[in-house]
Structure 1
């Protein structure tokens, strides 16, 4: 018999404006749970200002103090956040069994079936920030973009093809489709001439393939580890320090990180630890008001032993410094009259990319007054091409397979061209 869901995830709201909301999770433990929880928090537009987590290998207890990103008061769907966090928590095993026994018997963590794929087709008139406005609506509705093709005709008409999946798994219903169409119509207004949602097969994705050629010079600029290592020594947010100590605990290795804060920092750390197959027994995270963060992690290897191998220690410290310093890789490349902006971000071993990257890119383009006229997006070996208005602006976003970075590129000229 499991424990009530209200006891698994609890959300205590702040007593005064500007104070953090406290999110508490108490459930059976599983590898990578902290990373998965931080990913959802990031998806809901929240920043973690303080965190504590502990586990005995069977049961874990996690407390996160969160604020809306940027300190701006926003309407956070707390009930929906609670549901999404609850879905990540393992079910309490029946009396007389434990998670280790169920996992050995193959009765735990069964992978859910792949979500059904749908094709969203939009026909409308072009305007500034169109793609970001559509992307924002899809994010708010928990619709995941798998692939995109956007094309604009000389007369300013736009055809958008979005291959999407629904986190709520309700897009096959009439009510869910009508909800999506109504929200898109409310944002696009009279410029929207057609909005259709139909089931799509995986075979349809093959017709939207496009690939970008990244020259060795571009790859060197974006992924030169020696250069990134030198830059991480002193950054705008202050120095980055990642150390390990085996003298303070007889059973754990202490990993200490001191660095500047950035959007999704705790997620980047937890993702790296998860991908390196490191298990955290106790962790503490604190972000000060001066923009500095301190993280203490008492960790063990997957075999339950301390991290004693010097090579493994250096490799893990190096990887953490890279992800803390530059979770996104950015490069500017001249292509004749155009300037190409390339953005790459890492992918989890599970194949999931960093949340909201496409959303943030389209928002940045909108703020920079860049009109988008052509887009290719593909997830899992994928490509986004984005361009603007009558100029030759493009953005190219390529999401590669597991353990390889997702990438984005933007060709720009002034909007007056």
Structure 2
């Protein structure tokens, strides 16, 4: 089960443990990466120390040792949050990126950024910027375990280990140079001048579900209650809490109930609020954050383009945390449709208002200015761009469908 963090929260803070449990019930594979919700420190990491550190003595697990244990003094403790670069080189195939991403989740690694590229010889070179949730890297056993697991995925269904396939499944883990940060907007892999896409096609509105948000000041003497009702989906609680954090709403407690037909009812008991304008504002903001938590856009291919660009945009919360599972869900949708990823990257950008960039700032962004943009250059199975409007629409809808399942 999860280890509950025993630092005492303020009475008005979000119950992260509850959220964590709820998320884990929804998606059992993610125990590890959820711990980033409340406990990840975002301080800039110092130099991660050369990769030569001896790691832990193999006889004991790192968790079994108390902090005050003097015998641990000689051991070089890996620093929590140290960034590593995991590089995978392998023959490209449909679903590869998704399988590797899924495996990294299973290995309890958090992916902060990814650079995906494909060479002309159909060799995929995927670089993942990761931190180890178990905090065991660069210990050799841990490196070996991760490499073995990722290699197994690379081999995929082909049990016939012909030499060439085996040689290509190359996995390496090395400490990131200290100037690499977890979210660096600077190095653009896909070189596009403006942030706004000239013309974009988006997922059909039908995929976003309606939400009603109302205010009740009678139910509780001490609190104002915001009542929200919408279709239950992945990330719903996350979106409500992220919005609350951004709006600086202090939640005393929350009640979540499932209703019939897949509807979910959320009651947030918050600090008393009697100002009508403030109530209206909060209702509107909650509504848009629940209804449109992410934006999926695809660019019609130009005549000379060799790939089709897909973008998935999600706001960062006020502390700079990113939406969980985006890479996992997007690659799952693409795998289902047998779409190949030629190149991909994740960048953090400031949403800029004005001058045609509105496309890029989707409605739910309201006050939040920083967002994470996942960019994928896609081809079909045969390496061609996605030429038909119908297919592009299908991709958008499927991606959004999986994100908000």
TM-score, with structure 1 as normaliser: 0.64
Equivalent positions of 1:5-404 (< 5 A) are 28-30=8-10, 32-35=13-16, 37-38=18-19, 41-42=22-23, 44=24, 46-47=25-26, 84=35, 115-189=81-155, 190-191=165-166, 192-204=168-180, 208-210=187-189, 212=192, 213-215=194-196, 239-300=210-271, 306-337=272-303, 339-378=308-347, 380-381=348-349, 403-404=369-370
> C-alpha root-mean-square deviation of aligned residues, in Å?
3.8
**Which piece of structure 1 moves more, 320-329 or 240-249?**
240-249
Cα distance 1:218–1:315, how it changes in 2: closer, same or farther (>3 A)? farther
Cα distance in 1 for partners of 2:107, 2:375 equals 26
Cα distance 1:261–1:218, how it changes in 2: closer, same or farther (>3 A)? farther
Cα distance 1:27–1:77, how it changes in 2: closer, same or farther (>3 A)? same
Partner SS state of residue 152, structure 2: helix
Cα distance in 2 for partners of 1:86, 1:376 equals 22
Cα distance in 2 for partners of 1:344, 1:353 equals 11
Partner SS state of residue 214, structure 1: coil
How far off is 1:162 after superposition?
A: 1.9
Cα distance 1:39–1:361, how it changes in 2: closer, same or farther (>3 A)? farther
Cα distance in 2 for partners of 1:323, 1:36 equals 22
Contact 2:309 2:376 in 1 (8 A): yes
Structure with larger RCO (C-alpha < 8 A, sep 6+): 2
Cα distance 1:272–1:197, how it changes in 2: closer, same or farther (>3 A)? same
Match of 2:43 in 1: none
Contact 2:113 2:130 in 1 (8 A): yes
Contact 1:145 1:163 in 2 (8 A): yes
Cα distance in 1 for partners of 2:207, 2:30 equals 34
Cα distance in 2 for partners of 1:288, 1:155 equals 53
Cα distance 1:158–1:323, how it changes in 2: closer, same or farther (>3 A)? same
Cα distance in 1 for partners of 2:343, 2:245 equals 36
Residues matched between the structures, number: 311
| Structure 2 unmatched runs, 5+ | 41-78, 156-164, 351-364, 385-405
Partner SS state of residue 15, structure 2: helix
Cα distance in 1 for partners of 2:37, 2:298 equals 41
TM-score, with structure 2 as normaliser: 0.66
How far off is 1:409 after superposition?
A: 4.0
How far off is 1:329 after superposition?
A: 1.3
